[in-house]
Structures are given as structure tokens and as C-alpha cells.
Amino acid sequence: MRLYRLGESRQRREILAKLGVDKGGVAIMAEKMETLWILIRDLRTPGANILKQDALSIGADLAVPSGVITCETERVDALLIATRAQLRRLIRKASAQPFGLKKLAKALRGFLREEQGPARIMGVLNANDDSFYAGSRFLGDEAMNRIDAMIKEGAAIIDIGAVSSRPGAAEVSVREELRRIRPLCEEIGKRRLFERALFSIDSYTPEVVDYALRSGFGLINDITGASDERLIDLAVEHDADYCIMHMQGTPQTMQRAPRYEDVTAEVDAFFDERIARCEARGLPREKILLDVGIGFGKSLEHNLTLLRNHRTFLRHGCELLIGASRKSMIDRIIPTPTEERLPGTLAIHLKAVENGATVVRCHDVAEHRQALAVWEAMADVSSDKA
């Protein structure tokens, strides 16, 4: 007799199939393979008591503070611990209960959403002379050569910006931003590169975004997170995808002692509000990507917390984009100049992909392609290869 513990849930599914379990049985058992830990803030205390009993009745649990049973406080925080199968049953029970549990049940359904396929690489090109990483700055023929190289290296998306968004970056006029972006848009069209990759415009200036979309770009990368509804309307008009990024403040002010009561909850609420704004203007959820905005109005601890809790944002049913390439959070963990931060970048991005990211924005395409290929091979490994 031999025994060993299985790792990834995908490996467990393969084992079930090899054991001869029918497809229906595999699906049922897969629901029991993963335990979800869901923090619930500001739950009404009577509702917490009901939820606790309902959770226990199905084999799940709800961790609550002492004093809940006597309703010493009006509201409490609680930690729900359940498998996917248990969560489905608990949602049905909560949907028939008072004290805010119907609303909670609706929110919990989002946590049953599965990840959305393999990660795509987004290569970065900056058409300016002041982005924080010099290796991302290209102009003229060098820019076109770099775009061609990134596509060959495996980039499915090319993200082009003409204005730096680094902390404290100088503001640039609309006229100047257009002057920088126009030649690239024209040359990309001439070389028919739109047939080889999806092009993203990294801008929150409506005139620039409109020009890029008319040229053939298909994604708006908006660091202001849909603050300007004109950008949403442009996405609808051109049938473009739209990336909503969270940022506290502006590039000029964002790193001046950023503060949050609960960074995960606040970024999650921001996404709720901005997705609703987009849908109200006719942009469907499936066209939206979400970016937590690593380094945009966040301390090191804020960034780390968002990465640890990244699966939270899967509940919105949108693709998740991660962009931490060579950022200063790496330097704050282990002092390292920008030019030497590739290893730290790969560590962050692979963790984010493990936690649900499906678009990886990076400066080093070939290295990311290799790292992701190895990571995916390990995640898909079957028992006979182990």
C-alpha cells in the first residue's frame, strides 16, 4: 500500500477521472476539494447567529467574536469557512433569512465563480522619456522594433502609453500626448500589427483614447478607473475592452501617505461602483478588466494584502490584470535597483496568476512567457509525471 498527498485541484480532477469516476461524480467531488475562507464585515449580529447555525448544520463553520450569542454589539465581523459545495447550500439557506442575509447570499454567489483560463502577457511600451523604467522607453523605429519583438516573444497584448504615471510625474498637455502617440498609431496600422496582437492605449485623455481606438486599438487601460464617463462611452462606441484600475489620489499625490481602513474591502467596493457605472452606460461586464493598482496610492503592506486577497476580485466576473513589473515594492522588500527587479517581478506576477490574474502587464515578455509556461506545467502536472 502506498499513499501520498495530492496538490493542485486540477491534479485531483485528473485522479478522479483515472479512478473511473463518471463526469457527474467528478463535478460533484470537485466542489468539495477547495475550502474557501471569506471574511464578512459588518454583519448584523442576529444574522451572524443564524448564519453560524446554518453553517454548522451543513458541515461548514462561521468564526465569530465572543458575545455574539447575546447580541452584545449591533454588528460584527465574521470568517466563513466552507467548501464550494457547502457554500452553495449555505447560499440557499441564507436567501430565505432576514437580517441582511438575503443580500449576503447574493454577494456570496460571486465567490463561486471560477478562474478564466490561462494568463495572457501584456507587453509595455512607453512613448516618453520619463517613465520610471528606462528599458520601457522607445521612440520612432526603435518603438516599432520593440513592438515586433514583444509579439514574437509571446505578448498577446501591447500596452502603449505616452505619459508617465510614476509617482510625482509631470502633467502633459493633450496636444503633446497626441503628438507622441500619432506616429505610432499610424505605423502600427501600416504594418498591419493589429492582426497580430490586441493593442491597448494607456491613457485617460478622451481625445487620445478616441484617436487610438479609431486607429485600431481594442483596449482602454484607464488608471483613473472610469472616473471620466466619456471614456466608457468611447469603449461602447468602438466595442473596446476597458480596464478599470484603482488608484488613491493622482499620480502627483498618490504616494503621500496612502491610508485605508481595509484596503481589500475598499478596492472591492470601488470595483462594484465602477462596474455598475460602466454597465449603466452600456458596457457589458464581459468587456471589463480589473486592476488593483499595485503601487498606485498604496504602501508596501497595502500591495501585499491585495496580492494575498486577489481571488476576492474574481467574484465580479471580470478578468483580473496584474501590473507590478519592476515596481518599488520590490525595493522595499529587498533593496534592489529598478534594472535588477526582474526576479521579484516574476515572483509577484506568478503569485497573482495563482490567485486569479489572467492578464500580466510586464516589461520583460520572453522571461514572463517562460516563467508562466513552467508554472502552468506544474499546475497541470498529473500523478504519472510527478
Catalytic amino acids? 327, 361
Strand boundaries in the chain, DSSP class E: 35-44, 61-63, 75-83, 120-126, 157-161, 198-202, 219-222, 241-245, 288-291, 319-322, 359-362
CA angle 288, 290, 294 (to 5 degrees): 155
Cα–Cα distance for residue pair 75/43, rounded to 1 Å: 5
Q: Report yes or no: 125 and 114 within 8 Å, Cβ to Cβ.
A: no
Cα–Cα distance for residue pair 181/196, rounded to 1 Å: 19
Which residues are CB-neighbours of 309 under 8 A, at least 6 positions away?
A: 264
User: What are 359's three cell numbers?
Assistant: 492578464
Cα–Cα distance for residue pair 80/232, rounded to 1 Å: 36
Q: Report yes or no: 43 and 104 within 8 Å, Cβ to Cβ.
A: yes
Chain center to CA of 69: 38
One-letter amino acid identity for 266? E
310: closest CA among 259, 343, 364, 271?
271
Q: Report yes or no: 128 and 166 within 8 Å, Cβ to Cβ.
A: no
User: What are 7's three cell numbers?
Assistant: 496538490
